[in-house]
């Protein structure tokens, strides 16, 4: 079966009918793809000739969405950074708006420029660029105390950010109380891990039950009454479990960040809570960043002087409905999150919808254990003497790619690249093309296992279905593909300089998923990115 046939189906969105058949009855199709790439050298990468873009005539020029296509931590911050540079290079562009439309402090985006390295949580990436304005939009859950600390950390390194940050007046507010609720929820659910501790799930839950606060509640003149009532309600709730709210330990993210280990503090009394809130309110008002972003977006949809970048956080695999439920986050991490957050831009307005994935492996943090995971001890020194080849490979990946959490340094789980998950996420998550990261995480003599499909207990091929319940009952089928010299990748300046097996690996993923891979990163530096033909990356 020809590649173009598959891709044209994808491009026309008439469905991947053929593609879907190929996924349901994959054995022959995998052989064909392997034969085409590894035996016949058909290594098409990037946008195929003749494929048409959907909705091309309707899109808002210079608009890009960057979305996590796996389970988070794919390197989105890095791709955002590259894309900002690309947008600024377009003649006539006077600036770029970077819009965070989901999540909150649970995100950890690392950005680098020259000697400056920043670990961002709530701030949109791009603060390192003079021409970027970052919008923390209505789809986010924002903790103002943590925001202030983040702004101060960034300003200590890059200077004043006044005028460069916008916070939506209707963004969901997270306070110490929602963080305390998350701690209680962990006990109620009997799950030690669960969420990240940033109060994300309770904050979004209270959006739905209408008990939560938003940024304009903090700015309002009657803020004190609202926050007092909020505290009192929480106190009653905790008392019902025999707990004293003031004594509940919540994460102290400032100390956690500086000490690189989990540090906590107590919620404190209502008076303490209100006086802390008053200080934060004064700070927020003094920064003059709270705006009606709906009106801003209405202007931006027509103002082509600006590039627009929608920065996703977390990933489609962590989406509350489309992801690994119950171990998922709570905001809309797919492309529709842009609509619900901005209330102006719909998916078809956005020109480039880029899914980011890790090329040679996948990482995951949380309680979830997926069938593609390679079991590893927390501390790599505890790796057993009889560790399997896969465990040695996963340990090497964790160490080499530094797969430890941005804030706490918590080790991440290492999984094999999961093509069914990747393809599913792209299909339902509104992705059009893929950008891969970490192409340099490979070794010459070390084959790479890739999950091509799943089988049930009777050995029947089953399609990927989101949710841990379904994932627990399937067995992944792996193909082993040849590795390559990661150091050579790190040196490569263009596709011709990449090791042949790296190109073949990418081409195989492109054929299997049906989504064009338009770029791959070859190392941590901004310049270490190779764009593939046919797409104006
Ligand atoms: P929450 O978003 O804090 O409620 O966490 C729920 C789940 O999502 C946990 O498994 C987290 O580890 C995961 N999660 C949330 N944000 C991220 C992220 O930015 N990267 C990776 N995992 C995340």
Pocket test residue of 73, 318, 466 for ligand 1, highest count of atoms within 8 A of CB: 318
Q: Mean per-residue pLDDT for 469-497?
A: 97
CA dist 212 to 25, 171, 195, 201, Å?
47, 11, 18, 12
Lowest mean pLDDT among 56-65, 188-197, 475-484: 188-197
* Cβ–ligand 1 contact at 201 (below 6 Å): yes
- What's the whole-model pTM score? 0.94
Q: Is the pLDDT of residue 112 over 80?
A: no
Residues 6+ apart with CB under 8 A from 93: 62, 87, 305, 306, 307
Q: How far apart are the first and last CA of the chain?
A: 28
Rg over alpha carbons for the chain, rounded to the nearest Å, is 23
Alpha carbon nearest to ligand 1 atom 16, residue: 106
Distance of CA 354 to the CA centre of its chain: 12
Distance in Å, CA 340 to ligand 1 centroid: 20
Q: Which pLDDT value is given to residue 110?
A: 80
In this structure, are strands 373-374 and 132-136 parallel, antiparallel, or unpaired? unpaired
Nearest to 173 by CA among 211, 208, 206, 143: 143
Q: Rounded to 5 degrees, what angle do the CA atoms 173, 177, 182 make?
A: 95
Please give the Cα distance from 169 to 61 (Å, whole number): 27
The finding on whether 108 has its CB within 6 A of some atom of ligand 1 is yes
User: What are phi and psi for residue 100, nearest 5 degrees?
Assistant: -85, 120
Whether 73 lines ligand 1, by a CB cut-off of 6 Å, is yes
Nearest CA to ligand 1 atom 19: 107
Mean pLDDT for 322-343 is 97
Is the confidence at residue 424, as pLDDT, over 70?
Answer: yes
C-beta 98 within 6 A of ligand 1:
no
Ligand 1 contacts CB of residue 200 (under 6 A): yes
Contact 445, 483 (CB under 8 A): yes
| Residue 135 predicted with pLDDT over 90 | yes
Nearest protein CA to atom 5 of ligand 1, as residue: 195
- Classify residue 60 by burial, with Cβ atoms within 10 Å: 0-12, 13-18, 19+: middle
Closest protein CA for atom 10 of ligand 1: 366
Substitution site in 71, 76, 106 for ligand 1 pocket (most atoms within 8 Å of beta carbon): 106
Selection from 282, 331, 342, 537 nearest residue 433 by Cα: 537
Local structure of 212: helix, strand or coil: coil
Which conformational region is residue 325 in: left (phi greater than 0), alpha (psi within -120 to 50 degrees), or beta?
A: beta
Omega prior to 30 cis, within 30 of 0: no
424: its two tokens: 């599913």
Alpha-carbon gap, residue 327 to 173, rounded angstroms = 22
Confidence at residue 15, expressed as pLDDT on a 0 to 100 scale = 39
Take residue 494 and report the two structure tokens written for it: 């263009």
Q: Is 195 in the pocket of ligand 1 (CB under 6 A)?
A: yes
* Ligand 1 centroid – CA 373 distance (Å): 17
159: left (phi over 0), alpha (psi -120 to 50) or beta: left
> Could you tell me the CA-to-CA distances from 471 to 69, 237, 444 in Å, in that order?
17, 35, 32
Residue 520: strand, helix, or coil: strand
Lowest mean pLDDT among 72-86, 186-200, 278-292, 386-400: 186-200
Rounded to whole angstroms, how far apart are CA atoms 260 and 405?
10
Q: Which residues pair with 60 in a beta bridge?
A: 350
Which residue's CA is minimally distant from atom 21 of ligand 1?
72
* pLDDT, averaged across the chain: 92
Residues 6 or more apart whose Cβ sits within 8 Å of residue 404: 398, 410, 411, 412
Q: Looking at ligand 1, which residue's alpha carbon is closest to its atom 2?
A: 329
3-class SS of residue 366: coil
Q: What is the reported pLDDT for 192? A: 61
Q: Which of 195, 179, 297 is nearest to 248 (CA)?
A: 179
The protein residue with its alpha carbon nearest to ligand 1, atom 12, reads 366
**CA 265 – ligand 1 centroid, Å:** 21
In tens, the pLDDT along 234-262 reads: 999 999 999 999 999 999 988 888 887 88
């Amino acid at each position: 079966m020809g590649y173009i046939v598959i891709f044209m189906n994808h491009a026309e969105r008439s469905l991947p009918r053929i593609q879907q058949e190929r996924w349901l009855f994959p054995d022959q199709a995998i052989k064909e793809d392997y034969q085409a790439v590894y035996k016949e050298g058909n290594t098409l990468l990037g946008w195929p000739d003749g494929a048409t873009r959907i909705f091309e005539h309707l899109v808002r020029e210079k608009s890009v969405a960057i979305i996590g296509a796996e389970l988070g931590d794919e390197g989105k911050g890095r791709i955002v950074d590259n894309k900002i540079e690309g947008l600024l290079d377009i003649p006539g562009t006077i600036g770029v708006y970077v819009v965070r439309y989901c999540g909150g402090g649970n995100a950890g985006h690392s950005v680098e420029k020259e000697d400056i390295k920043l670990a961002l949580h709530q701030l949109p990436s791009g603060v390192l660029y003079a021409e970027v304005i970052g919008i923390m939009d209505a789809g986010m859950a924002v903790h103002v105390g943590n925001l202030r600390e983040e702004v101060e950390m960034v300003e200590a390194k890059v200077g004043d950010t006044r005028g460069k940050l916008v916070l939506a007046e209707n963004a969901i507010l997270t306070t110490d109380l929602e963080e305390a609720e998350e701690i209680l929820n962990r006990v109620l659910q009997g799950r030690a891990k669960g969420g990240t501790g940033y109060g994300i799930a309770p904050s979004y839950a209270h959006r739905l039950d209408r008990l939560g606060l938003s940024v304009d509640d903090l700015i309002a003149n009657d803020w004190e009454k609202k926050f007092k009532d909020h505290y009192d309600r929480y106190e009653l709730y905790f008392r019902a479990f025999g707990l004293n709210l003031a004594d509940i330990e919540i994460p102290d993210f400032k100390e956690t960040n500086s000490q690189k280990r989990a540090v906590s503090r107590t919620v404190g009394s209502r008076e303490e809570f209100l006086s802390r809130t008053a200080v934060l309110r004064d700070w927020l008002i003094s920064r003059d960043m709270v705006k009606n972003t709906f009106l801003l977006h209405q202007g931006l949809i027509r103002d082509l002087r600006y590039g627009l970048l929608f920065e996703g956080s977390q990933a489609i695999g962590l989406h509350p409905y489309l992801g690994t439920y119950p171990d998922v986050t709570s905001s809309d991490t797919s492309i529709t999150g842009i609509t619900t957050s901005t209330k102006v831009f719909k998916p078809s307005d956005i020109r480039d919808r880029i899914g980011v994935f890790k090329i040679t492996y996948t990482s995951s943090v949380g309680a979830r254990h997926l069938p593609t995971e390679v079991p590893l001890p927390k501390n790599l020194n505890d790796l057993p003497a009889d560790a399997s080849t896969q465990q040695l490979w996963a340990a090497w990946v964790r160490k080499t790619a530094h797969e430890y959490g941005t804030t706490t340094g918590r080790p991440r789980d290492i999984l094999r690249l999961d093509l069914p998950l990747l393809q599913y996420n792209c299909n339902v998550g509104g992705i059009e093309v893929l950008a891969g990261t970490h192409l340099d995480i490979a070794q010459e003599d070390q084959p790479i296992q890739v999950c091509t499909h799943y089988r049930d207990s009777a050995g029947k091929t089953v399609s990927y279905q989101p949710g841990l319940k379904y994932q627990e009952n399937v067995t992944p089928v792996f193909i082993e593909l040849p590795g390559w010299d990661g150091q050579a990748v790190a040196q490569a300046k263009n596709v011709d300089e990449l090791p042949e097996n790296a190109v073949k690996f990418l081409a195989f993923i492109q054929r299997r998923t049906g989504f064009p891979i338009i770029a791959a990163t070859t190392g941590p530096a901004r310049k270490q990115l190779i764009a593939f033909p046919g797409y104006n990356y």
